[in-house]
């Protein structure tokens, strides 16, 4: 067999001829020409650098295998599409691919640089709204949350994920989740299971003047929540996933919460319900962390059945779509739309969350807007200020952690949203009104898909402010 120019490499490194490329925007596909051949049979597919990741996990992502015949004219596009599939598993810093011919047969070599997969993060936070209010408490040293948050990605080398939370102190949380996106030879069927128990010494019991109003208790926990969930994953590719989940929930509040807001749980201090959720996601972005090209679509339908026999069921439909376009010369355009509708005869206060929680019109960060239905439109135009070569920390010998990519974008944006609320308190002025904002921001993309944004925003109320976030806004 002819040599493909790939030497032996120590674990956790790329094959020697393939220079590492660090995500998110670099790509490398090398093709050694095959003179006089229009089509060739794939003879061998090799992988290098996957010390932890099982090879069958990688092979399951490819759309070609040994014995398939490929048109060499389409080979660059085909290899790049498969390289992108492996990279978007979010298991590797970089994925490169090289092909060559041995006679009339193709040899394809994928090189990967694995990430660090275990992340224990200490939890140390204050149980009050800010440092000043905490410092004025006579029992302030008791009002501290502490614990540990652990994430294990690529568990067992099979792209599984385990998440555990142990939070003690003033507020308590105990959680354990396991996610296997694909099992078996073809990794098309997966599962997810988990459980969570949460206790808090304070609860936001009502929305007044478009702000959450907390009610605290020093003697006990005014709210407790428990849920257990299990579901199936139908994984067509890394970009297309359908999930079906069933979960049991038990929630309890104190008499004080029910007294101050009888509609919190519709006159009850405890409720139990079952959720059945169907989610379909198509993620065709060039990278999941800070996408510049491609598109994203998700539809989620949840039907909630309350177990008391009296509370009417609740059906929630949520849709979202985003488009990412490269305009050339370092400019990129992004537009996203999301909407949610709730169908029920009566809605408890705890189920009225709309904008200001998961979805947000930027510039309205200090407000929440409750209601049954909402729509949100976001647009942004970005310009890449710089994208230097990755920084190599020479004092760190492990290639999983010694390379720091950096990219900085200047972004201008405009958001608009609307929440439909059939009934609301007179003090809440934002429901049933158009919300709008414009702003200017800086987006930093760096280590392990981390995105940090700093934005200056003018909202429809004439208010301005600086806001800092740790995620891509659209």
Residue 23 included in any domain: no
Same domain, yes or no, for 108 and 127? no
Are residues 349 and 400 part of one domain? yes
Residue 159 CA, chain-centre distance (Å), reads 16
Q: Is a pLDDT exceeding 90 seen at residue 290? A: no
pLDDT tier, 385 (very low <50, low <70, confident <90, very high otherwise): very high
pLDDT of 362 > 70? The answer is: yes
Residues 196 and 226 in one domain: yes
- d(CA 207, CA 257) in angstroms, rounded, equals 13
pLDDT for residue 24: 35
CATH number for the domain that contains residue 94: 3.10.20.310
Domain membership flag for residue 447: yes
Instruction: Identify which has the larger pLDDT, 347 or 474.
Output: 347
> What is the predicted pLDDT for the residue at 69?
92
Using the 3D structure, point to which of 62, 94, 114 is the last residue of a domain. Answer: 114
Could you tell me if 120 and 109 lie in one domain? no
Looking at the structure, tell me whether residues 71 and 132 fall in a common domain.
Answer: no
Q: What is the pLDDT of residues 210-265, one digit of tens each?
A: 998 888 776 789 999 999 999 999 987 778 899 999 999 999 999 999 999 999 99
Same domain membership, residue 453 and residue 365: yes
Task: Please tell me the distance from the alpha carbon of residue 307 to that of residue 313, in angstroms, as a whole number.
Answer: 10
pLDDT tens figures, 402-437: 778 889 999 999 999 999 998 888 899 999 999 999
pLDDT of 102 above 90 = no
75 part of a folded domain: yes
Task: Count the domains in the chain.
Answer: 3
Q: Is residue 302 part of a domain?
A: no
- Averaged pLDDT score across all residues of the chain: 88
The encoded tokens of residue 368 equal 């929440």
84 and 145 together in one domain: no
**CA 225, CA 247: separation in Å to the nearest integer?**
13
Tell me: do 174 and 67 sit in the same domain: no
Task: Out of 114, 130, 159, pick the residue that ends a domain.
Answer: 114
Same domain, 129 and 241: yes
**Are both 390 and 247 inside the same structural domain?**
no
Longest Cα–Cα distance of the chain, Å, equals 84
Residue 351 corresponds to which tokens in the numbers above?
């189920």
Based on the domain organization, do 196 and 233 belong to the same domain? yes
User: Are 133 and 87 within one domain?
Assistant: no
Query: Cβ–Cβ contacts within 10 Å for residue 408, how many?
Result: 15
> Which range, of 115-119, 126-130, 337-341, 357-361, averages the lowest pLDDT?
126-130
Q: How far apart are CA 34 and CA 71, in angstroms?
A: 11
183 within some domain: yes
- Tell me which residue of 115, 109, 124, 116 sits closest to 30, measured CA to CA: 109
Mean pLDDT check: name the lowest of 122-136, 155-169, 220-234, 257-271: 122-136
Q: What is the DSSP string of 373-435?
A: EEEEEEEEEEEEEE-PPPEE-TT---TTTSEE--EEEEEEEEEEEEEE-SS--TT--STTS-E
Tell me the pLDDT tens digit for each residue of 38-66: 899 999 999 999 999 999 999 988 989 99
- Per DSSP, 76 falls in state H
**Please, which residues bridge with residue 107 across strands?**
44, 100
Domain boundary among 92, 114, 136: 114
Domain span at residue 239?
116-283
Q: Domain for residue 93, yes or no? A: yes
Asked, for residue 459, whether it belongs to a domain, the answer is yes
- Percentage of residues in the chain having pLDDT higher than 70: 91
């Amino acid at each position: 067999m002819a040599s493909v120019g790939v030497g032996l490499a120590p674990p956790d490194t790329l094959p020697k001829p393939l220079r590492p490329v660090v995500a998110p925007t670099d790509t490398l596909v090398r093709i050694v020409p095959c003179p006089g051949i229009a089509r060739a049979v794939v003879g061998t597919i090799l992988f290098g650098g996957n010390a932890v990741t099982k090879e069958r996990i990688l092979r399951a992502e490819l759309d070609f295998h040994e014995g398939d015949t490929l048109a060499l004219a389409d080979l660059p596009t085909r290899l790049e599409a498969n390289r992108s599939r492996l990279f978007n598993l979010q298991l590797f810093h970089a994925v490169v691919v090289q092909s060559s011919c041995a006679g009339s047969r193709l040899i394809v070599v994928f090189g990967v640089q694995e990430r660090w997969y275990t992340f224990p993060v200490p939890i140390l936070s204050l149980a009050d709204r800010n440092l000043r209010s905490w410092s004025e408490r006579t029992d302030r040293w008791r009002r501290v949350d502490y614990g540990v948050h652990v994430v294990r990605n690529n568990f067992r080398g099979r792209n599984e994920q385990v998440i555990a939370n142990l939070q003690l102190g003033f507020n308590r949380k105990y959680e354990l989740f396991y996610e296997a996106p694909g099992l078996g030879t073809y990794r098309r069927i997966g599962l997810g299971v988990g459980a969570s128990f949460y206790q808090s010494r304070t609860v936001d019991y009502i929305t007044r003047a478009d702000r959450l109003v907390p009610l605290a208790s020093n003697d006990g926990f005014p709210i407790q929540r428990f849920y257990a969930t299990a579901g199936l994953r139908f994984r067509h590719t890394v970009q297309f996933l359908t999930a079906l989940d069933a979960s049991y929930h038990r929630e309890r509040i104190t008499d004080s919460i029910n007294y101050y807001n009888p509609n919190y749980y519709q006159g009850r201090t405890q409720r139990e319900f079952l959720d059945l959720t169907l989610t379909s996601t198509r993620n065709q972005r060039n990278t999941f962390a800070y996408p510049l090209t491609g598109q994203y679509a998700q539809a989620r339908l949840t039907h909630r059945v309350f177990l008391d026999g009296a509370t009417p069921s609740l059906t929630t439909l949520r849709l979202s779509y985003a488009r990412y376009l490269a305009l050339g010369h370092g400019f990129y355009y992004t537009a996203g739309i999301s909407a949610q509708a709730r169908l029920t005869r009566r809605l408890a206060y705890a189920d009225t969350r709309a904008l200001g929680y998961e979805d947000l019109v930027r510039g309205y960060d200090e407000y929440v807007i409750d209601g049954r239905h909402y729509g949100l439109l976001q647009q942004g135009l970005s310009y890449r200020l710089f994208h230097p070569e990755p920084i190599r920390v020479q004092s760190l010998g492990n290639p999983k952690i010694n390379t720091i990519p950096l990219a900085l974008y200047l972004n201008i944006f405009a958001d608009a949203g609307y929440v439909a609320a059939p009934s609301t308190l007179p003090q809440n002025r934002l429901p049933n009104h158009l919300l709008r904002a414009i702003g200017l921001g800086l987006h930093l993309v760096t280590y392990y898909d981390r995105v940090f944004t700093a934005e200056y925003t003018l909202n429809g109320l004439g208010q301005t402010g600086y806001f800092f976030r740790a995620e891509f806004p659209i």
